[in-house]
Chains A and B, each alone.
Chain A
Amino acid sequence: MRRDLIRQFLYDMLLARLFEQAAAEQYLQGRIGGFLHLYPGEEAVAVGTLRAADPGDYVVSTYREHVHALVRGTPPEAVMAELFGKATGCSRGYGGSMHLFDAERRFLGGYAIVGETFPVAIGVAYWLRLNEEPDVVLCYFGDGAVNQGTFHESLNMAALWKLPVLFVCENNRYQIGTEIHRHSAVPEVWRRACAYGMEGRRVDGMDVLAVHEATREALRHVREGKGPFLLECETYRFRGHSMADSGAYRSALEVAELRARDPLEGLRRRALAEGWLGEGEVAELERRARKAVQAAVRFAEQSPPPTELHRDVYAQPLDVYAPEIPARRAAP
């Protein structure tokens, strides 16, 4: 059981790391456009939390969400094709990197305005609670999002009505170039929970086993109807904020220190040292992940682009609105 879980975690984290590396390469070759926010360094958070959730739970995430979709089970092909803007992407090429959706897997997106995940999550949870459904909502956000009004508004309502939401803060210490002690009067995000009479705690977000265990406990609390829970995961992004950011505001020493705590390498080392997995097994997992990423890139390259500009703006097109310009009337 434990070995299966470890194997799953390691595969997820390898896939996540290799997928993001491939995305960066494809971006540099001009095949992916727009903003691209990558996840290396933070893998333990998505993997540890989502592997503790049930398939019936809903997930609401930010623009740094490729890995959340992958762990949720969205095929790497569909995610990569979306980054390429192809019709076979998980949002049919209409959303892009920041707006991945997979309704079938209850993955509700992909929100690129900081602070939007809170109201969406409490809305889903309100509906679940109203209908006495057993499912819960996992709501992701960065450390920068906690000073947005919706954080306070939504956590208040979630606690007031005891809504089934697990709020997961991916605290990577930075809001683009502004470090947390420069953007937050109270940099311990979890402590803000007490303002709403909510349970909260902090966990080492570089340790997938710790994140997984903390999430299981928090989800038990939420599922038992005791109200929402705020879980702060302390993590770090190894790359810049997006592909447009070199990350020059961070010292080389700081980055090196955190890289030494790489959650993927940490798990790999520990799995081997404890004898959970053998060298051969680990190599095989990596080979599988690499193949999956290569297949995803190939699929994205070969997929057709979307062609219909006007589809899905409304349930039915409002064509009454677009009259033809009349031709000039002939002179009498």
Chain B
Amino acid sequence: MNKFLRTLIPSDIAKGMAITGKHFCKVFFTANRRKVPFHIVSEYPEVVAKVQPRYRGRLTLLKDEQGEIKCVCCLACEKICPTQVITIEKGKKEGRKMPYPVRYDFEMERCIFCEFCVESCGFDSIILNHQFELATYNREDFSLGMEGLSQNMFEPSPVGKFSVADD
């Protein structure tokens, strides 16, 4: 009898519908009001996405106050990189005691953003920046280097170049 009644009266489905309805009302009646926390989805290309301070993005070479490249070619980052994407060529520059990287090639397509290179660098000369919009249409765009290539390691990558907002 009890079972029959339960089959007849769909209380379980009503319970589920109540939850869905509650959430629907919350969002529906507070839509377009800025400060309401029920909207957990942000409209990404229009609204800039924020990342946490420790976010691991693209590898960037740093310069000191005089505009000198901080890297001294100790090759620690090249050695520790699990995917071997860094290639450094040691060289000399006039008026600089420390070795100078003539080439610092970084093939981003194989980088796995693990931050081991930054961790191994004893001279704080590289960081992973906060960029995550790294997709491009050309494979060549992933070869980063000191200069001359389509992207270099100092400037930010062309953020949002291919995002929907530009069309």
Indicate whether A and B interact.
no
